[in-house]
Amino acid sequence: MNMSTYKRGDKWWIRFRFNHLRYFKCSPENSQIGARAYEASLRQKLARGESITEEQKEITPIPTFKDFSEKWFEVYVKTNNKFSEIGNKRSLLNAHLNPYFGKKQLDQITNLDIESYKSAKLQTGLSRKSVNNQLIVLNKCLRTAQDWEIIINLPKIKLLKVEPQKIDFLNINECQSLLDNCDGQLKEMVLLGLKTGLRFGELIALQWPDINFQSRLLTVQKSISRGQMGSPKSNKIRYVPLLNDVSQTLSARAKSDGFIFSNNNEPLVQCACIQRLHKACERAGMRNIGWHTLRHTFASHLAQNSVSILVIKELLGHADIKTTMRYSHLTQSTVRGAIETLNRNSGDNMETVLEIPKSKLLSIASQEINLLQKTQ
């Protein structure tokens, strides 16, 4: 076994396991060499069957993965995660992680176990992305066990390589055909999805006070997941300018309060809305798409019209610019234009590019989003 010595504050400590028990003690000799010697002496006593009760601060059996994961879920996940994430982690633990690792003690999960798990899951036909989602939960669970000083070392968890996600979005003709084959509330939802890029949960959480018809500005501050109201995925409020046709369509039936889209004043259910969208696709003679395709369409059309990736990031509410960069291949004209600016000046008077404040981004977005009006 590897010795474990570390310094906390101005003192040296030892922490090790022997026969599945954990020992944690401050070294009487305050140096790393002294701590290692102290740990070695304790191990020798334990090997001889001698009691070190007076020497140990704490002896705790290492729990199985299933036992610890249940505690982790109740204490950590429910406290720190959003409702949708809580449900996802519960599902992954029940369906995948506990059946495979459940009976193993935490300190017995090895690098080989991790690689064997990845191989087994891929052989069942799961996608690499799905397996990675499971590994991320496993990694967080084990890291929490380390933070809580239940285990010392962690197995190495390497995510599988995943091919870049292919983005499906509608062209201009498909957008119009889909809208022509929708009516009522569904048509309004599709129109808003195409021209604001809202997530489905954000669409069905919209309430009338979220729209300022005078300034044509939409405030995105809530999202519904599995019937529960919460904050958007990025945990921040964002503002999206509304095009004329969207504003006029919604203002015709505006109210002072309540959900904009509802079923008898109750939140809409996702599966029912997906079915309605698929029927509209069938009437339009096009492939079935999901609600997220409307979001991809909004972002893709902006990128094709040379709108800044930073502006698209703010409009979509992405927390990380890396997520928005999936649309960067559609902005080649912008990239070429940026490089060609070097031809205007040999470098004697080049400007320094500063980060654009969010307040200015909204102003830019309000101007650039109107590019969609010209193409749709």
pLDDT in tens, 13-67: 887 877 777 777 788 888 888 888 888 888 888 888 887 765 444 456 789 999 9
pLDDT for residue 208 is more than 80: yes
- Residue 56: its pLDDT value, please? 44
Residue 346's alpha-carbon distances to 115, 306, 341, 343, in angstroms, are 54, 25, 10, 7
44 vs 211, which has greater pLDDT? 211
User: 363 and 285 in one domain?
Assistant: yes
pLDDT for residue 122 is more than 70: yes
User: 277 and 223 in one domain?
Assistant: yes
CA 376 to chain centre: 31
Q: Residue 364's domain is classified under what CATH number? A: 1.10.443.10
User: 265 and 186 in one domain?
Assistant: yes
User: 291 and 227 in one domain?
Assistant: yes
Average pLDDT over residues 257-266: 93
User: 233 and 113 in one domain?
Assistant: no
pLDDT for residue 148 is more than 70: yes
The overall average pLDDT reported for the chain is 85
pLDDT for residue 5 is more than 90: no
92 domain-assigned = yes
158 domain-assigned = no
Average pLDDT over residues 157-182: 92
User: How sure is the predictor about 75, in pLDDT bands with cuts at 50, 70 and 90?
Assistant: very high
How many structural domains are present in the chain?
3
Domain boundary among 147, 178, 203: 147
Domain boundary among 19, 44, 61: 61
Cα dihedral across residues 270, 275, 278, 283: positive or negative: negative
User: 140 and 121 in one domain?
Assistant: yes
Q: Residue 137's domain is classified under what CATH number? A: 1.10.150
- Residue 352: its pLDDT value, please? 39
User: How sure is the predictor about 346, in pLDDT bands with cuts at 50, 70 and 90?
Assistant: very low
User: 315 and 285 in one domain?
Assistant: yes
Average pLDDT over residues 259-287: 95
Average pLDDT over residues 150-162: 91
Share of residues in the chain with pLDDT > 90 (%): 57
Average pLDDT over residues 143-171: 89
pTM of structure: 0.67
pLDDT for residue 207 is more than 80: yes
99 domain-assigned = yes
Place of tokens 């499971």: 134
- Residue 153: its pLDDT value, please? 83
215 domain-assigned = yes
308 domain-assigned = yes
pLDDT for residue 200 is more than 60: yes
User: 73 and 46 in one domain?
Assistant: no
Average pLDDT over residues 342-354: 46
8 vs 59, which has greater pLDDT? 8
User: 173 and 90 in one domain?
Assistant: no
Domain hosting residue 89, numbered range: 65-147
212 vs 6, which has greater pLDDT? 212
- Residue 47: its pLDDT value, please? 85
- Residue 50: its pLDDT value, please? 81
User: How sure is the predictor about 12, in pLDDT bands with cuts at 50, 70 and 90?
Assistant: confident
User: 11 and 82 in one domain?
Assistant: no
103 vs 363, which has greater pLDDT? 103
- Residue 19: its pLDDT value, please? 77
Question: HEC profile for the chain?
Answer: CCCCEEEECCEEEEEEEECCEEEEEECCCCCHHHHHHHHHHHHHHHHCCCCCCCCCCCEEECCEHHHHHHHHHHHHHHHHCCHHHHHHHHHHHHHHHHHHHCCCEHHHCCHHHHHHHHHHHHHCCCCHHHHHHHHHHHHHHHHHHHHCCCCCCCCCCCCCCCCCCCCCCCCHHHHHHHHHCCCHHHHHHHHHHHHHCCCHHHHHHCEHHHEECCCCEEEECCEEECCEEECCCCCCCEEEECCHHHHHHHHCCCCCCCECCCECCECCCHHHHHHHHHHHHHHHCCCCCCHHHHHHHHHHHHHHCCCCHHHHHHHHCCCCHHHHHHHHHHCHHHHHHHHHHHHHCCCCCCCCCCCCCHHHHHHHHHHHCCHHHHHC
Domain boundary among 97, 112, 147: 147
User: 116 and 77 in one domain?
Assistant: yes
350 domain-assigned = no
78 domain-assigned = yes
User: 246 and 216 in one domain?
Assistant: yes
User: Picking from 35-39, 109-113, 243-247, which range would have the lowest pLDDT averaged per residue?
Assistant: 35-39
160 domain-assigned = no
